[in-house]
Amino acid sequence: MSDSVFGKYAEYYNLLYKDKDYAAEAGFIHALIQKFNPGAKTVLSLGCGTGSHDFELAKLGYEVTGVDLSDEMLTVANSRILSSDSIIPQPVFHKGDIRNVRLGKTFDVVISLFHVVSYQTTNDDLQAAINTVQEHLITDGLFVFDCWYGPGVLTDPPVVRVKRCEDENISFVRIAEPNIWPNENLVDVNYQILITDKLTGKVEEVKETHCMRYLFVPEVTQLLKGTELTMTAVYEWMADRRPNLSTWGACFVVKR
């Protein structure tokens, strides 16, 4: 995945997901950490975006380091540090590709949230990301990631969706048209984004395609072979149950 995919998208990212409950999602991750690696303090967030999960995890007492490939996303993340008056230690952000970044240090927990792993669309990309996790994870450390879940995607294929949102300056319409490639385990999500400046009435159009890989439990197990990582549990995202045919988002818990 190139950082250009999130070029214009990054400008409107936080508005687009303003209703996403990052605090609840961080709480879900916190509960998994406490269950499988209690006492963990340091967290590496791969594909951190604008840092929304990372700031919430920092509030829960973790020392968080975020990595993202997009300059635009990192600019937003760092601006949130500058505008914060919190006495809680803030996350630290670095630019890097999750397939090859090396920070020269290890962490108690590595996370990769909001389907970042699904953006690794080839086997080589996935393996490279797993190698990055292993390089940065302590012995007995925990890797937690979510992704598109294959059985759910194939049972309930993606359809055209429209999302509208606005703030005091702009109104925003996003149309998502999917193409599914079942032999490659991929979905191309073609976005048409229309942004209207409320003051001038000017309309800007942005078109982007996000290619997503959906994953299966045996596939992830196979990818972990030959590493020091072992699958420990699989959950439906934000739920204390195993994924099933109606599950689109799965959460994998892996230990080193």
Tokens of 50: 């604008």
Nearest to 111 by CA among 50, 60, 42, 59: 42
pLDDT in tens, the chain (256 residues): 444 445 456 667 778 888 899 999 999 999 999 999 999 999 999 999 999 999 999 999 999 999 999 998 999 999 989 887 777 889 999 999 999 999 999 999 999 999 999 999 999 999 999 999 999 999 999 999 999 999 999 999 999 999 999 988 889 899 999 999 999 999 999 999 998 988 999 998 989 999 999 999 999 999 999 999 999 999 999 999 999 999 999 999 999 9
Residues β-bridged to residue 95: 68
Angle 142-117-128 (CA atoms, 0-180°, nearest 5)?
80
Q: Are 88 and 50 in contact (CB under 8 A)?
A: no
Measured distance CA(179)–CA(211) in Å, rounded: 9
H helices within the chain, ranges in order?
A: 7-16, 22-36, 52-59, 71-82, 123-136, 150-155, 217-224
Q: Are 91 and 78 in contact (CB under 8 A)?
A: no
Give the Cβ contact number of residue 174 at 10 Å: 19
Domain range list for the chain = 3-150+214-255, 153-212
Residue 174's contacts (CB-CB under 8 Å, 6 or more residues apart) are: 16, 162, 163, 164, 191, 192, 193, 194
Q: Which helix (H) or strand (E) holds 162?
A: strand 161-166
Measured distance CA(2)–CA(211) in Å, rounded: 11
Phi, psi for residue 152 in degrees, rounded to 5: -70, -40
**Class of 153-212 per CATH?**
mainly beta
The pTM of the whole model exceeds 0.85? yes
- Residue with token string 């509208």: 164
Tokens of 95: 């630019």
- Residue with token string 């699904």: 118
Measured distance CA(72)–CA(2) in Å, rounded: 12
Per-residue pLDDT, 169: 87
CATH code for residues 3-150+214-255:
3.40.50.150
Q: Are 67 and 98 in contact (CB under 8 A)?
A: yes
Q: Are 45 and 53 in contact (CB under 8 A)?
A: yes
